[in-house]
Amino acid sequence: MTGSPHEHPFDVPLPFDLRPRAEKAVRDLQLRQFVGSATRGKDRGRRDGFREVFGDRSEGVRTLAGAIKQHTLDHLDWYLERFIEAAGGAGVHVHFAQDGAQANAICLEIARRQGCRLCVKSKSMVTEETELLPALLAAGIETIETDLGEFILQLDHDAPSHIVTPMIHKDRAAVGRAFARELGVPYTDDPARLTAIAREHLREKYRRADLGVSGANFLVAETGSIVICTNEGNGRFCTSAPRVHVAFAGIEKLIPGPEHLGVMLKVLARSSTAQPLTCYTHCITGPRRADEHDGPDEVHLILLDNGRTEILREETRELLRCIRCGACLNACPVYRRIGGHSYGAVYSGPIGAAITPLLKGVHNFPDLPKATSLCGACFEACPVKIDLPRQFIALRRRMVEQRVTGAWERAVFRLWGWSLRSAWRYRLVSGVQRVVLRWLGRGMGPNDAGPSTRRWVSRIPGVLKGWTGERDFPAPASRSFRQWWEGEGRSER
Amino acid sequence: MKVSLFITCLGDSFYPRAGIAAVKVLRRLGCEVDFPAAQTCCGQPMHNNGYAGEARALAARMIEVFAASEHVVTPSGSCAAMVRKVYPELFEHDARMKAAAESLAARTFEFSEFLVKVLKVDLRALGVRWEGRATYHYSCHLRELGMTDEAEGLLGRIEGLEYVRLASPEECCGFGGTFATHYEVISGAMVRDKVADIRATGAPTVVCSESGCGMNIEGACRRQGCHLEFKSLAEIIAEGLGLLDRAGGAAERHA
């Protein structure tokens, strides 16, 4: 399993090399089984849920959800202003952070000013992106991840490997061992018992915490609300028990108004966990009011850019529609086999393979846009219709233009393209290919058992070395279709 | 009805029997088939790998080669998707070429789609008879075109053919062009699962019309020492009509 304790899976040398990680993960049969069965189950659940509730209108709902997000992004400046106005009016302090370090610094400054010592944190991918947890701990603020999955990962010094189900790569035995080691409880792998232990441990922390940190699933421009969807109730604790609440959100989380929230909540829950709605949906509009019993004295929202305005360019803008539901991860045949840690960054799966190179530079993550068969399962699953295959191709194009792609590969493709631009060159290349491959495949022909009358090649050096490392390569037929056509095919009746 | 066959570069070299079968079936169905000799490749490898200029040049070539064709039929869902979905996008900033690309897109059909939607054939009425148990693999590009049912529907109308569905027909076989050589380990894991799914059906014959998927899956079968028979839908129909020998007559042999 990638990401052994104490070695952070996203602390990678650049340019990032996917191959060794992917190879290790593919060989890890246990990992493949956990991730494979969990993702297949969720993918099926998503499809069934959509069919059951939306039926023939599933396509339309996805189009609508995508259009809501696209519209907001197309007018992001306007909606940001509306949101800041409304949130400010409700008493929320809104901050802007250009990058992760700045966002963390803002949070630490709030904690310092308020004298916060103990932080309870609900699940948030954006705080994974800014690496808030180590920053809080380094500042001497005891911090506990309260989402059960994240709690376990924190105990085990591990990192999330899925946007929604962060410990998809672990089984309950691993959880039991981490609990016994870190919490000093007797070993058990009974999920109910493990949950009870975590609950007991966390309850005490909630009671004493003075800082609550959360992410945000949506920001409603019209009302200035921060919307958080959770299933364990920990989000509610984190944002209401401590006296200070700091929410982190990417600038792309905006939606225009409450009427749009209904659509987004429905597609989010169905796409991520195949639920009609998440168990808890919190709409936080400002701090505790004078007549209210619960809630923080102060609410802060840190709006993070961290490369997002770069993605906001027209050709990549659709990527910011993402609502982090994880449906593309669950649908992806590549993710199913290599797991999240192989991607070398916080966001994994198809969406991660598309945005990580944009957030951190294509020259730093040149492998990610290529690590896909372009099968389109992600596009089909995406509730906001992000055309991920098209984005991968656009990234590959950018890599060719910026010469991130090697000179050798560029030369091969240019030559290949040139050879196909004339019928005689094509025939010449096909002829040479036929002679060479059939020679390589001599003796591996129709004489062995089985119905195939074809010659096969079991080892080819050069560009097809990878192919024959895993499977045989067919030799061309002795006579091409073209030759048949020019012989008897044309005139035959 | 006039049909121009777009054989595809892989089909031409590696799966000529599928092309031959398509010609014979289309002729039996009353089509006048021609094969524009200037055709080469649709340019998908260049497009997918980020070589837009090369892809555009090949697209322009294809558009010209098939300019006069009434219907363009190809055995490959993948190449059909390239022509239909990508060509118009490639000429986004050239109104004349975009119109020409859209015209070609509207005239281009994958083989099974052409049979179902244009010729509206009923294989049962036609007397297609093919004895045996077979499963079917469709390519991801056929799924993209929304055509996962056409071939299955046709298989269901063949007398004597016992069709067994894969458990996960929608899952990619791991071909993905250069992906299969760049990330052979991931691709290898994918195709081994596909082979396992196929083997679980117990069918000795795999119907697969996509050259790329076929090379990948059959190559993996062979590496595992499992010998299954791979045939395109056109070959099944041609054999079922007695237009091709079931074993593959001398003229159509692969080797």
| pLDDT tens for each residue of A176-185 | 999 999 999 9
> Do B139 and B246 reside in the same domain of the chain?
yes
Residue that is last in its domain, among B117, B150, B170 = B117
A447: confidence class by pLDDT, cuts 50, 70, 90: very low
Tokens of A181: 């080691």
Whether the CB of B227 is below 8 Å from some CB of chain A: the reply is: yes
> Do B137 and B244 reside in the same domain of the chain?
yes
The rounded distance, in Å, linking the Cα atoms of B94 and B87 is 12
Which residue in A103, A300, A101 sits closest to A211, CA to CA?
A300
A454: confidence class by pLDDT, cuts 50, 70, 90: confident
Higher pLDDT, B134 or A441: B134
Whether the CB of A17 is below 8 Å from some CB of chain B: the reply is: no
> Do B71 and B133 reside in the same domain of the chain?
no
> Do B98 and B129 reside in the same domain of the chain?
no
> Do B196 and B211 reside in the same domain of the chain?
yes
Q: Could you tell me if the ipTM is greater than 0.90?
A: yes
Q: What is the mean pLDDT of residues A293-297?
A: 93
CATH number of the domain encompassing residue B15: 3.40.50
Residue B33 CB neighbour total at 10 angstroms: 20
C-alpha torsion sign, points A216, A218, A219, A220: negative
> Do B112 and B183 reside in the same domain of the chain?
no
- What residue numbers bound the domain in which B109 lies? 2-117
Which residue of B12, B84, B253 is the best one to mutate when testing the A interface, meaning the one whose CB has the most A CBs within 10 A? B12
> Do B91 and B55 reside in the same domain of the chain?
yes
> Do B69 and B29 reside in the same domain of the chain?
yes
Chain A hits for B26, Cβ within 8 Å = none
Please answer yes or no on whether B191 and A471 come within 8 Å at the CB atom.
yes
B255: confidence class by pLDDT, cuts 50, 70, 90: very low
A161 contacts A39 by C-beta, under 8 angstroms = no
Question: Does residue A101 carry a pLDDT above 50?
Answer: yes
Identify the structural domains of chain A with CATH numbers, from first to last: 18-309 (3.40.50.10420), 319-407 (no CATH), 421-489 (no CATH)
Whether the CB of B162 is below 8 Å from some CB of chain A: the reply is: no
Whether the CB of A405 is below 8 Å from some CB of chain B: the reply is: yes
CB pairs under 8 A between A and B: 231
> Do B128 and B112 reside in the same domain of the chain?
no
Q: Which of residues 6-25 of B touch A (CB under 8 A)?
A: 7, 9, 11-17, 19-20, 23
Residue that is last in its domain, among B117, B133, B165 = B117
Q: Which of residues 344-403 of A touch B (CB under 8 A)?
A: 370-377, 380, 393, 395-401
Total domains in the fold of chain B: 2
pTM assigned to the model: 0.95
pLDDT for A453 = 63
Q: What is the mean pLDDT of chain B?
A: 94
Instruction: State phi, psi for B183 to the nearest 5 degrees.
Output: -120, 60
> Do B100 and B143 reside in the same domain of the chain?
no
First to last CA, chain A: 61
Rg (CA), chain A: 26
Residue keyed to tokens 């060509």: B87
> Do B163 and B192 reside in the same domain of the chain?
yes
Tokens of A88: 């400010």
A9 contacts A305 by C-beta, under 8 angstroms = no
> Do B182 and B215 reside in the same domain of the chain?
yes
pLDDT for A11 = 86
The rounded distance, in Å, linking the Cα atoms of B31 and B107 is 15
Whether the CB of B140 is below 8 Å from some CB of chain A: the reply is: yes
Specify the DSSP class assigned to residue B242: T
A127 contacts A306 by C-beta, under 8 angstroms = no
Shortest CA gap B116–chain A (Å) = 23
- In what side-by-side order are the strands of the sheet with B159-163? B159-163, B129-136, B205-207, B229-231
Whether the CB of B120 is below 8 Å from some CB of chain A: the reply is: no
Residue that is last in its domain, among B117, B151, B180 = B117
Shortest CA gap A4–chain B (Å) = 21
Please answer yes or no on whether A396 and B50 come within 8 Å at the CB atom.
yes
Chain B hits for A420, Cβ within 8 Å = 9, 40-41, 43, 58
> pLDDT digit string (tens) for A314-359?
999 999 999 999 999 999 999 999 999 999 999 999 999 999 999 9
Element (H, E) at B54: helix B52-65
Tokens of B52: 């837009």
Element (H, E) at A235: helix A234-240
